[in-house]
Amino acid sequence: MSAKGDTRAKPAAAERKKAGGLGSRLRAWREQHLYSLVSSLGRLAARPVATGLTVGVMAIALALPLGLGMALGNIERFSGSVTESREIGVFLKPEVTVAQARELADGIGARADVVAVGVRTPDEGLAEFRAMSDLAGALDVLEDNPLPTVLVVQPKGDGDTLAADLRQLPQADIVQHDAAWRQRLSAWLAFGERVVQVVAVLLGLGVLLVVGNTVRLDIGARSEEIAVLQHLGATDAFVRRPFLYLGAWYGLAAGVLAGLLLAVAGLLMQGRLSALVASYGTQFDLSGPGLRGSLILLAGSALMGWLGAWLATGHHLRRTRPVDV
């Protein structure tokens, strides 16, 4: 009876020992990461001047492409109403009456490539010009209304073919279509996006080099400690861990500072921009990266710092790894 009880107790004791061993390993792993996280932050705080210089250089390198990208986004948003507009203005000859213009508009509106056609009479055009201009007094001197009747055509698609057909109308004097201007603007915006991408890649490499060099100096200061750990059998992951957290802290601090720089720059420019767009009778507010963009900035900068530290430590560990003789 007792022997049978001992036999049953042995597997249970083995299972408890195994569970306790796994729990101990997880606990030790968590404590090592926590110690590396806190100790690397303490090393940054112990040298504030050097840390501030490194973080400042990284923050500027991050803020430049981000600022260019935000500027392009705001320009595209500001010009969105213009780039999306496909209206074609058909200025009719002076001898065309309003009734004839309405009849012509009905014929154009029946086309399959036309969404709608509006007629702007000379009186409506003069009233609009008077409201938008400071020459209201000078307009009263005119005996006759010099403005023609205008057809405002909203095409389907880009309207290039429709504009060419409208130019062939005998009643048309001038056909205004801004397709070429919109295409040039889109091309410039696309070119600007490519410039931002190239600058981001180059400055991103600069961030990696800055972090890698900073971590390399820290590794050099602790080379004897690392050599002892390697001879005692410490794994590369154990040796590399505090430096990875150090690089991540550098990147995270640089991301925070870059976000602050962009916010300050936006505040400094908003007043001047508001005064500029107010002169055109409109309003426009600069848009920032938002919460999602800010989180991506912080995560990306921390990842870049981590990667730079990983490259630096990997190079050192490959050179100093003990070789069995």
Domain identity same for 196 and 70: yes
Percent of the chain with pLDDT over 70: 78
pLDDT of residue 69: 84
250-290 pLDDT, tens digit each: 999 999 999 999 888 888 888 777 777 676 556 677 777 88
Q: Judge whether 5 lies within some domain.
A: no
Out of 124, 147, 177, pick the residue that ends a domain: 177
Out of 156, 177, 198, pick the residue that ends a domain: 177
Q: Does an H or E element contain 270, and which?
A: helix 236-278
Q: Judge whether 9 lies within some domain.
A: no
Total tally of structural domains belonging to the chain: 2
pLDDT of residue 130: 67
Q: Judge whether 15 lies within some domain.
A: no
Domain that holds residue 251: 35-81+184-320
Domain identity same for 135 and 230: no
Out of 153, 177, 201, pick the residue that ends a domain: 177
Q: What mean pLDDT is predicted for residues 97-101? A: 88
Q: Which is more confident, 207 or 277? A: 207
Q: Which is more confident, 142 or 38? A: 38
103-130 pLDDT, tens digit each: 998 998 888 888 889 898 887 877 776 6
Domain identity same for 224 and 162: no
* Least reliable range by pLDDT among 114-123, 160-169, 311-320: 311-320
pLDDT of residue 7: 47
Q: Does an H or E element contain 154, and which?
A: strand 150-155
Domain identity same for 96 and 223: no
Q: Judge whether 28 lies within some domain.
A: no
Residue 50 has pLDDT above 60, yes or no: yes
Q: Judge whether 30 lies within some domain.
A: no
CATH value at residue 140: 3.30.70.3040
Task: Give the contacts of 273 (CB within 8 A, at least 6 positions apart).
Answer: 284, 286
Domain identity same for 131 and 238: no
Q: How much is the pTM?
A: 0.63
Domain identity same for 53 and 152: no
Domain identity same for 135 and 268: no
Domain identity same for 294 and 148: no
Other Cβ atoms less than 10 A from the Cβ of 248: the count is 24
Domain identity same for 113 and 191: no
Domain identity same for 214 and 260: yes
Domain identity same for 143 and 199: no
Distance separating alpha carbons of residues 291 and 181, to the nearest angstrom? 34
pLDDT of residue 306: 92
* Least reliable range by pLDDT among 37-46, 83-92, 274-283: 274-283
Q: Which is more confident, 63 or 325? A: 63
Residue 6 has pLDDT above 60, yes or no: no
pLDDT of residue 179: 66
Distance separating alpha carbons of residues 202 and 273, to the nearest angstrom? 30
Q: Which is more confident, 139 or 207? A: 207
Domain identity same for 195 and 306: yes
Q: Judge whether 19 lies within some domain.
A: no
Residue 154 has pLDDT above 90, yes or no: no
| Six-digit token string for 184 | 């040039």
**Sheet with 172-177, side-by-side order of all strands:** 114-120, 150-155, 88-92, 172-177
